[in-house]
Chain A
Amino acid sequence: MSRLLMAVFLMAAVTYIPRVFPIAVFTRKIESRFFKSFLYYTPFAVLGAMTFPGILWATSNFYGSLVGLVVALILAYHEQGLMKVALGAVLAVYICELWIFR
C-alpha cells in the first residue's frame, strides 16, 4: 500500500511542478515584442496540437471519431458555443457507433 501511495504522491508532484514553476518564477511582465506575441499565440498552438490528430483515437472507432471531428468543425464554425459543439459531436459519434460503423 505504501508503494501505491508513493506513486500517487510522485504523480501529483510531477503534475503540479510544471504548472506552478513558470507562473511562480516569471513575476515580471515580459517586454520583448516577439516573446509577448509568442505567448499570445500559445493557446491556439496548444489547442491545435492537442486536437489533431489526437481526436481520431478519442473514441473506440476511428471513422466515428472522424465524423465527430467534422461535426464539431461545422458547429464551431457557426459559433455554437462549447456545450452545443461538444454535445453535437458526441451525438454524431454515438449515432455512428450505433448504426453505421459497427
Chain B
Amino acid sequence: MVNHRFLIARKNEISDFNRGIKQGIPIALGYIPVSFTFGLMAVNGGIPVWIAILISLTNLTSAGQFAGAGLIIANASLFEITLTTFVINIRYMLMSLSLSQKITQMPLFKKSMMAFGITDETFAVASLEKGEVSFAYMMGLIACPYWGWALGTVLGAVTTSVLSEKLQSSMGVALYAMFIALFVPASKKSKAALVVVVVAIFWSSVFKWAPYLNQTSSGWSIIIAAIIAATTGGILFPRKEDEF
C-alpha cells in the first residue's frame, strides 16, 4: 500500500517535471539570441570567455548581466557594480513573494534551489499555471532556460558573430513578444487583468517620459509601476475565496 502510494507520487512528479520541461523549451529558445549577444558583448569588451560563461551560469538574468558586464568593462568600482545589479534585480522580490503563495509545501532547500531559476519568463509561465505548482514542475521549467542561457553565452563568447547583425538585432524583440503572448490572452478573458496591465504600462511609461520621474532606473520603474498596478487590481477587483 505504502509502496503503491509512493509510486503514484513518483508518477505525478515525473509528469509535473515533463510538463515543466515542455513549457520551458520556448523560453530557452528565446534566451539563446539574448545570451549570445551577452557573450559577444562581454568578450568584445575584454572579459575572458570563461568569465562570461561563469557570469551566465551564476547569474541567469539578462538586464543585470548586461549592466554588470558593462560596468566591469568600464572599470567601475565593485560597489557600483553590486548596487546597479541589485537595483535592476529588485523586481525579483515581487516575483518571489508572489510565487511563495503559489507553490506546494516543500522544504527550505528545495525552495532555495528553485528560487535560483526565477526569471521574468519562468515566473510569468509558472504563475499563469492553474492551481499550485510543485518543485518537480519548477525544476522542469527552469532546466531548459538555464542551459539555453548558458549555451547562447558560450556560442556568443567563442564566435565572432555567425548571425548577421540585423538578424541578431531583430531577435531582441523575441522575449518582449513572449511577454505579450502571455498577458494578451489573459487580458482578453479578464477585465481585471486588462486594467492591471494598462495601469502598469501607463506608470512604466510615466517613469520613462515624464520630467523628473524619468531619472528613475529601469529596475525601480518596473517594481513601482507593478506595485501600483497590482494594488489597483487588488482594490478594484478583489478576488473571491473560490477564485484562487
| A43–B128 CB distance below 8 A | yes
**B residues within 8 A CB of A90?**
170-171, 173-174, 177
Check B136 for interface membership: any CB of A closer than 8 A.
no
Given contacts A18-B92, A48-B201, A76-B185, contact A86 B174 (CB under 8 A): yes
Count of chain A residues with a beta carbon within 8 Å of a chain B beta carbon: 80
Given contacts A24-B108, A64-B170, A76-B184, contact A16 B115 (CB under 8 A): yes
Given contacts A20-B116, A45-B200, A45-B233, contact A8 B98 (CB under 8 A): no
Q: In the bound complex, what is the Cα–Cα distance between A8 and B61 (angstroms)?
A: 13
**A residues within 8 A CB of B40?**
none
Given contacts A42-B94, A60-B169, contact A72 B180 (CB under 8 A): yes
**CB contacts between A and B, total, < 8 Å:** 315
Interface of B, helix, strand, loop or mixed by DSSP: helix
**B residues within 8 A CB of A38?**
230-231, 233-234
Given contacts A37-B233, A44-B233, A48-B200, contact A93 B222 (CB under 8 A): no
Q: In the bound complex, what is the Cα–Cα distance between A9 and B57 (angstroms)?
A: 11
Kindly identify which residue among B29, B184, B192, B221 contacts A41, using a CB–CB cutoff of 8 Å: B192
| B128–A6 CB distance below 8 A | no
Q: In the bound complex, what is the Cα–Cα distance between A52 and B196 (angstroms)?
A: 13
Interface of A, helix, strand, loop or mixed by DSSP: helix
**A residues within 8 A CB of B120?**
46-47, 50
Task: Please report which residues of chain B, range 181-209, place their CB below 8 angstroms from some CB of chain A when the two chains form the complex.
Answer: 181-188, 192-193, 196-201, 203-205, 208-209
Check B89 for interface membership: any CB of A closer than 8 A.
yes
| A97–B169 CB distance below 8 A | yes
Q: In the bound complex, what is the Cα–Cα distance between A52 and B162 (angstroms)?
A: 30
| B124–A14 CB distance below 8 A | no
* Nearest CB on B from A4, distance (A): 6
| B115–A20 CB distance below 8 A | yes
A contacts, CB < 8 Å to B: 3-27, 29-30, 33-55, 58-61, 64-65, 68-69, 71-73, 75-77, 79-83, 85-91, 93-94, 97-98
